[in-house]
Amino acid sequence: MNPEPYQPLSNYSWTAKWKTPQGRRWLWLLFLERLLRSLPYPNWRGYLLKKAGARLGSQAFVHDVVFQNVYANGFANLELGNKATIQTQCLIDLADRVVLEDEVTVSAGVTLLTHEDCGHKLGKPLAAYFPAKKAPILLKRGCWIGARAVLAAGVTVGECAVVGAASLVLEDVPAWTVVAGVPAKPIRSIREISHGEAAECPLK
């Protein structure tokens, strides 16, 4: 059965939205996002992120990145553990939670997406076929996301796993596994002990 024909929202107005308390909050969050992006030092950015509601552990660093959909829940959806790092030119979608556990490395240009939406609010034609959805991203302890990789909503990357550069990750990545490609597929196990069980992550 085919979906119902789409109906564009003729009364949807950005101007009217900005006049509401919610709209003014959104404007403030957008301004704060631009300010965070322009700061020259990660320490300054980390301080402001904490003040804005994000949770950052000891020695966690966020370089000049783009935060998308900050109006959803401010910066409260961002959590970095101890020594977790996000390098320059990344895009971090905060429509849902983005959690980096201790000692996670997110390399330059990575995209972390927590939602999919082809325009349902505006009644775009494909919205009937591809409903909007959102889901958190979890990067477990010690994992490494290679440069320009893209992670889709709902993905979990296991402990000490590696995602190859420019990969598209649509499914969970097992611990201690290297994945790469479009879409990403397992390449090899990083480290195994004699009985075939994954060794514990050595990062301290």
Distance CA 93, CA 57 (A): 20
**73 touches 67 (CB < 8 A):** no
How does the average pLDDT of the chain come out, rounded? 88
Residue 5's pLDDT band (boundaries 50, 70, 90)?
very low
% of the chain exceeding 70 in pLDDT:
85
pLDDT above 90 covers a percentage of the chain that reads 65
Q: What is the reported pLDDT for 72?
A: 81
Structure-block tokens of residue 113: 């997406």
State both tokens at 92.
């971090």
Output 41 or 103, whichever has higher pLDDT.
Answer: 103
Candidates 203, 135, 198, 200; CA nearest to 170 is: 135
The band of 57, judged by pLDDT with boundaries at 50, 70 and 90, is very high
Cα radius of gyration (the chain): 19
One CATH from 1.10.1060.10, 3.40.50.300, 2.40.50.1020, 2.160.10.10 for 14-188: 2.160.10.10
42-51 and 21-38 are packed helices; what angle lies between their axes, rounded to 10 degrees? 160
> CA 46, CA 63: separation in Å to the nearest integer?
9
Read off the pLDDT band of 7 (50, 70, 90).
very low
Count the helix, strand and coil residues of the chain and give each as a percent rounded to the nearest 5. 20, 25, 55
| Distance from C-alpha of 115 to C-alpha of 137, rounded to nearest angstrom | 10
Segment 58-75 mean pLDDT: 93
Question: What digits encode the pLDDT tens for the residues 175-189?
Answer: 999 999 999 999 999
Amino acid in position 5? P
What is the reported pLDDT for 13?
63
Residue ranges per structural domain of the chain: 14-188
